[in-house]
Structure 1
């Protein structure tokens, strides 16, 4: 089922321009390619991989020329399901691995946390310890790309820090020196206790203090992650579909 995207109206338009700039640089496009009122932007890329990016009222198609050409036969915007990109790929679909994430951005983030003086670690080792207690799918979604630093791991306070249990962790990686791509992971035995909100807010505010715009990506079906982002003040303004050519078809 195609879950509609919320109205991006509450999101600051100046910040939206900066987000667009970051995506242009990530996709190796001209800096002003998304600075447009058009509802569709096309970009012929250098590889067979495809990105369909919806940001507010604009849908970007970046990929090989055949994909850009095929997109012209499609109407409307890409939604959160895979109907649009599946139609774009047509009989090539079996050659590609498709990934889909909603994208949300921090605009007006508060500083209040519901835990007094939480025990926080900034060591990557505590995040790795947490990952060992989580499913492969959860770890893959939270840490599908490396986070070099900026770790905030909430530790249980019933032991010394060097042996404390890792309850939840948040971190981010910098993209184009503009965006902070957020990741959050919680021990499955300690969920629904507000731990993810604590570390998510700390990491988000750290990114803002560094002059970055926080970005939150979630699988559309991951309702809990999307609700958490909303509670933290993120505004969901789009969706990204990626179609990566499988190795046996290179």
Structure 2
């Protein structure tokens, strides 16, 4: 795998910013164990990264969560029970993968790669809605679509795209046309996008629902290192009170 743990503080810093935590709250706590941080949020979030775990959300939920261990809080059903009175709605549990260096997967033949929005949109029109919504290419600014041939009017086969997260990470997602799957095109597109992100000075982050076996296979084949889990619950009642 291709992630140097010396890069871990950069990942923690990105999540520290993303979870709206006090400056240096995670970087100063780089030790084993769980850290709870009360935040005024409409979400309860449990993040496990390597030997650390971070729970953020309203103070009363953090207090109620003290009786659970990390394995229990990583379980989506536990978090839903914990937030029942707050109108908890599950946002899923995702595995987190990272890479700060990757081997370049060279294609057997010359391929044409488009960086345009139109080609990515054309690919989305070929794919099931659930796959399109899961990857959500439209919100990822940097797109790399592998086309059927070098011809300008060729159809799209696969697209990998990334969006910057907190100026430190490249959140990567890959979509492959149904008729082009299991041919290595997803790995090829992922490799292209990942190397572009690394060249831009970012660490690559891959998030995949724990039940998405294909996404996990792709992450492993591309060379990403698994680092943890992210479980998120939306607090519907709290949102209502804040409107």
- In structure 1, the partner of 2:174 is 184
The Cα offsets for residues 130-150 of structure 1, whole Å up to 9 and x where unpaired, read as 0011111101110177112x2
- In structure 1, the partner of 2:22 is 30
CA RMSD of aligned residues (A): 2.2
The Cα offsets for residues 162-203 of structure 1, whole Å up to 9 and x where unpaired, read as x21110000000011100000100001110011111110000
Contact 1:74 1:88 in 2 (8 A): no
- In structure 2, the partner of 1:160 is 151
* Gaps in structure 2 of 5+ consecutive residues: none
Structure 2 residue 228 is matched with structure 1 residue 234:
no
CA distance, structure 2, for counterparts of residue 78 and residue 33 of structure 1: 24
How many angstroms does 1:126 deviate by?
A: 0.3
The Cα offsets for residues 195-228 of structure 1, whole Å up to 9 and x where unpaired, read as 1111100000000000000000001111111111
Structure 2 residue 62 is matched with structure 1 residue 68:
yes
The Cα offsets for residues 77-121 of structure 1, whole Å up to 9 and x where unpaired, read as 4576424423432x3375423322111001331013233221110
CA distance, structure 2, for counterparts of residue 130 and residue 63 of structure 1: 38
How many angstroms does 1:248 deviate by?
A: 9.5
Which piece of structure 1 moves more, 56-65 or 110-119? 110-119
Residues 202-217 of structure 1 mapped to structure 2, 5 A cutoff:
202-217=192-207
- In structure 1, the partner of 2:80 is 86
Which one of 19, 37, 47 corresponds to residue 43 of structure 1?
Answer: 37
Distance 1:228 1:127, change over 3 A: same
Which one of 13, 16, 22 corresponds to residue 21 of structure 1?
Answer: 13
TM-score (normalizing by structure 2): 0.90
How many angstroms does 1:156 deviate by?
A: 0.5
Which piece of structure 1 moves more, 205-214 or 52-61? 52-61
Secondary structure of 2:54's match? strand
Q: How many residues align?
A: 238
TM-score (normalizing by structure 1): 0.88
Structure with the largest fraction of helix: 2
Distance 1:69 1:248, change over 3 A: closer
Which one of 94, 107, 125 corresponds to residue 132 of structure 1?
Answer: 125
- In structure 2, the partner of 1:54 is 48
* Gaps in structure 1 of 5+ consecutive residues: 1-8
Distance 1:10 1:84, change over 3 A: farther
Distance 1:165 1:218, change over 3 A: same
